[in-house]
Amino acid sequence: MLTSQRPKALLLLADGTQFEGRAIGAQGTTVGEICFNTGMTGYQEIFSDPSYTGQIMVMATPHVGNYGVKEGEGESGSPKIAGLVVKKYSEVWSRPGGTGSLDDHLKAAGVVGISDIDTRKLVRHIRDNGAQNALICSESTIPLDVLKLRLSTAPSMAGSELSSKVTSAAPHVEGRTNGAYRVALVDFGAKSNIIRSLAERDCEVHVFPMDTPVADMLAAEPHGFLLSNGPGDPGAMPASVSLVKDIIGTGLPVFGICLGHQLLAESQGIPTEKMHHGHRGINHPVKNLVTGRSEVSSQNHGFVADRAACERNTAVEITHVHLNDNSVAGLRLKGKPVFSVQYHPEAGPGPLDGRYLFDEFTQLMAEHARKAAPVLRNA
C-alpha cells in the first residue's frame, strides 16, 4: 500500500507533544513508555525482546521493514513491543531466506504503529525531556480529549512489575540433551539467544517460571543458575529479590543478565533507579575493569544499579562500567561464584564482544562441580 493510502495516525506524548503520521501494522490505539533504539539492524530481534514489554519503540535508523522477517530469528515467539514509531516504513522487502513482510508480522501480533515521523526530532525530544508515556492512535473516530485522558491514566514504568506477563507458563528443558552442564534459568522474560548461547557451551537448560521455589529448581540438580533479562521495574519485584537471595544462598554459580543483574544488586541491598532515557542500542562502549579491555555491547535497559551504593558495599565489586556515563555495567560478589552484567552478552542483535562471559560462567560451573565431587580414598 502506498504511504498516502494508509490511514492517518497520531503520536501523543505525556508532555503534550504531538506528531502526525501514517498508520502501520495493526490499526487501533496503544499506550506505553516511549523509548528509542539506535541499532541500524536487527529490528526483528528488537521487537521480539520480552524486555520491551510495555514500551513503544522508536527506531532511530530511518528505514525499517526493507528486509522483512525470517522465521526463527525472533528473540521470543512474537513481537513484544507495545507500539512502533519509524520514519520510512517499507512494505516491500527483499532478503534471501526471508519468510514474510514486517507489516504482516506486526498485524498478526496486533502491534499498532506509526510511520512518516521525524524520528530525529523525536529522539532528541526524548533525550532532552526523558522517557515518558505515549500513545499511538490510528482510529480517527476517537476524540483527542479521550486520548489525552487515556494517556494520563496509564501506569508509569517506574513501579510496574511486568515480568509475570512474559515468564514461562511451566518448567521445560531446552538446549543440549544430557549436556555437560545443567543450568537452571530463571525466566523473567528471557531472550532465546541466551538459551542458544548456553546450548553452544554444552548446557542443558532447565527453564523455570519466575515464581518457582528454589527447592523445585534444585530438584533438577543444576550446576548453576542464570537470572535472565526481562521488563519492568526491579524495585517493584520484592518476591524476585527474595528468590535471588535464596539462589545465592545455595552456593552454586550464578550469572545475571540485565534485569537479572538489577535483581542481584537489589538482593545485596543496592537500590536501582530509573534512568533519564535509558541505554538501548548495539554500539554501547563498556570497559571491563578486571581485564582493562573495552568492548562494544548490546544494551536495553531503563533502570540501573546505584553506583554510589555499589561502591559503599564491601561485599560487591564493580567489574564493568559504561564509558558514556560511568554507570554500573557489571558486578560480582566477593568470595562467591556470583556475577552479573547490565548489558546483553548474547547479543541478538549486536556485537559478540561479551560472549566470553558465558565461557566464564561454564568455567565457574566446572570448577564448582570439581570441588563438590567426592574424594576417593585408597583402601
Residue 279 bears catalytic tag: no
Convert the pLDDT of each residue in 8-23 to its tens digit.
999 999 999 999 999 9
Alpha-helical runs (H) found in the chain: 43-47, 102-109, 119-129, 144-152, 192-199, 214-218, 238-249, 259-267, 307-312, 356-372
d(CA 330, CA 167): 24
Instruction: Say if residues 165 and 53 touch (Cβ distance below 8 Å).
Output: yes
- Nearest in space to 98 (alpha carbons), one of 130, 65, 71: 71
Distance of CA 52 to the CA centre of its chain: 6
Catalytic residue among 161, 174, 295, 346: 346
Cell digits of residue 282: 548495539
* Per-residue pLDDT, 3: 66
d(CA 231, CA 38): 19
Convert the pLDDT of each residue in 319-367 to its tens digit.
999 999 999 999 999 999 999 999 999 999 999 999 999 999 999 999 9
* Per-residue pLDDT, 30: 98
Residue 137 bears catalytic tag: no
Residue 203 bears catalytic tag: no
d(CA 29, CA 147): 9
Q: Render each residue's pLDDT in the chain as its tens digit; 379 residues.
A: 666 689 999 999 999 999 999 999 999 999 999 999 999 999 999 999 999 999 999 999 999 999 999 999 999 999 999 999 999 999 999 999 999 999 999 999 999 999 999 999 999 999 999 999 999 999 999 999 999 999 999 999 999 999 999 999 999 999 888 899 999 999 999 999 999 999 999 999 999 999 999 999 999 999 999 999 999 999 999 999 999 999 999 999 999 999 999 999 999 999 999 999 999 999 999 999 999 999 999 999 999 999 999 999 999 999 999 999 999 999 999 999 999 999 999 999 999 999 999 999 999 999 999 988 764 434 3
Catalytic residue among 105, 223, 320, 344: 344
* Per-residue pLDDT, 376: 41
Alpha-helical runs (H) found in 135-222: 144-152, 192-199, 214-218
HSE-up of residue 140 (Cα within 13 Å, Cβ side):
7
What pTM was computed for the model? 0.96
d(CA 298, CA 342): 10
* Per-residue pLDDT, 377: 39
Catalytic residue among 35, 137, 203, 258: 258
The b-or-e profile of 127-152 (16+ CB within 10 A means b, else e) is: eeeebbbbbbbbeeeeeeeebeeebe
